[in-house]
Structure 1
Amino acid sequence: MKLRTLALLTFSAALAVPPLAAAQGGFDSTKLFFGAGISQNDASGIDDEGTGFQIFGGYEFGQLARNVSLDAEVGYMDSGDMKACDTFFGIRQCAEGDAKGLWATGVGRLALNPQFDLIGRLGFDFGDDDGLMFGIGGGFNVNKQTQLRLELVERDEISSLQFNFVYRP
């Protein structure tokens, strides 16, 4: 199975979870959450980093084991403009570009205590940097509705250091 096909199936499955849960009487709208943040992005072969953003939504599936929870997240990211320069026959030439696109991941959270979570993610990027993506980080629970996250997310070509705000209504 090609990676692109697998990624499309994963994304479709992530979008299908809430309607399927609702059909089985298990969908709970209080488990939905939303987030947004800024990121510092670096790509291989790029001289200049880009400052970008991401927005996302998710669903909490609940605890798998003591202090271990599983979520699904779907979002959009823009890496911001990055500059690549190269010297060709003694002439330095530069070009700017960015990467954008949708992504879907499963997110595991390990609650260390009521204030801190360790976070791990694995999924697919469907945009300009399509392919496998994974990340690690931590979350600080300001209160029951608000979490601040710091994560390092790796995609096929782009590495992102992200600071996100998560809101659970």
Structure 2
Amino acid sequence: MKKMVGLVLFAASILSAPVVAQAEGLKLDAKRFYLGGGLNFNNLPGVGSSRGFQFIGGYEFGFKLNEDISTSLELGYMDSGDFDRLNNTGDADKASGVWVAAVESVPLTSKTDMLARIGYDFGDDDGFLLGAGMQYKFDTKVALRMEYVTREHVNGLQVNVLVKF
């Protein structure tokens, strides 16, 4: 029950960000939406490793914290792929599901950013997720990200390509 209450409060706070932004006179700009996808290389302690994929959709808000830190809200789907070891039923374990996260981005140079994320996974590995990584911007529309994301059970290195509209 406590987990469900925490989940509801967390989801409400994350999902209300666009409403607050709208209420403060900020309008959603189509050029701030982005889509992406990539590969993940995962580890599940005691079970082994796997390779999978994910898809991401996000929105970068127009306001900045401390004049530098950008805030984005992302919604994604992750599939870990099959882990090395078989479970008790003789099948390979895997985890998949939808997640939502707030992403903070700090520019290091004109083309590279440091990233931090906090969110919640609603799938097989449900629970909070945390991540950190780097982003390289090829131009104003295309970026490459490399992040380490830890979930309740599955930890993984993710490599994604993002495209802005």
TM-score by length of 1: 0.85
Task: Name the structure 1 match of 2:33.
Answer: 32
Out of 100, 111, 134, which is 2:130 matched to?
Answer: 134
Task: Name the structure 2 match of 1:53.
Answer: 53
Task: Name the structure 2 match of 1:113.
Answer: 109
Cα distance in 1 for partners of 2:133, 2:113 equals 8
Cα distance in 2 for partners of 1:135, 1:126 equals 16
**What is the Cα deviation at residue 3 of structure 1?**
2.5
Cα distance in 2 for partners of 1:82, 1:107 equals 28
Query: CA 1:116–1:14 in 2, change beyond 3 Å: closer, same or farther?
Result: same
**What is the Cα deviation at residue 14 of structure 1?**
3.8
Cα distance in 2 for partners of 1:5, 1:54 equals 27
Deviations 1:55-90 (A, max 9, x none): 11111123111321111111111100113258x9xx
Unmatched runs of 5 consecutive residues or more in structure 2: none
Letter in structure 2 aligned against 1:11: A
Task: Name the structure 1 match of 2:2.
Answer: 2
Out of 65, 85, 97, which is 1:101 matched to?
Answer: 97
Cα distance in 1 for partners of 2:84, 2:155 equals 15
**What is the Cα deviation at residue 12 of structure 1?**
4.5
Percent of aligned pairs sharing the same letter: 34
Q: Is the 8 A contact 2:86 2:93 kept in 1?
A: no
**What secondary structure sits across from 2:139 in the alignment?**
coil
Task: Name the structure 1 match of 2:143.
Answer: 147
Cα distance in 2 for partners of 1:8, 1:52 equals 28
Cα distance in 2 for partners of 1:95, 1:75 equals 26
TM-score by length of 2: 0.87
**What is the Cα deviation at residue 17 of structure 1?**
4.1
Unmatched runs of 5 consecutive residues or more in structure 1: none
Deviations 1:8-59 (A, max 9, x none): 3433454454466456652323222211111011101113x21111111111
Q: Is the 8 A contact 1:55 1:76 kept in 2?
A: yes
Q: Is the 8 A contact 1:83 1:95 kept in 2?
A: no
Q: Which has the higher strand share?
A: 1
Question: Higher Cα Rg: structure 1 or 2?
Answer: 1
CA RMSD of aligned residues (A): 2.2
Task: Name the structure 1 match of 2:65.
Answer: 64
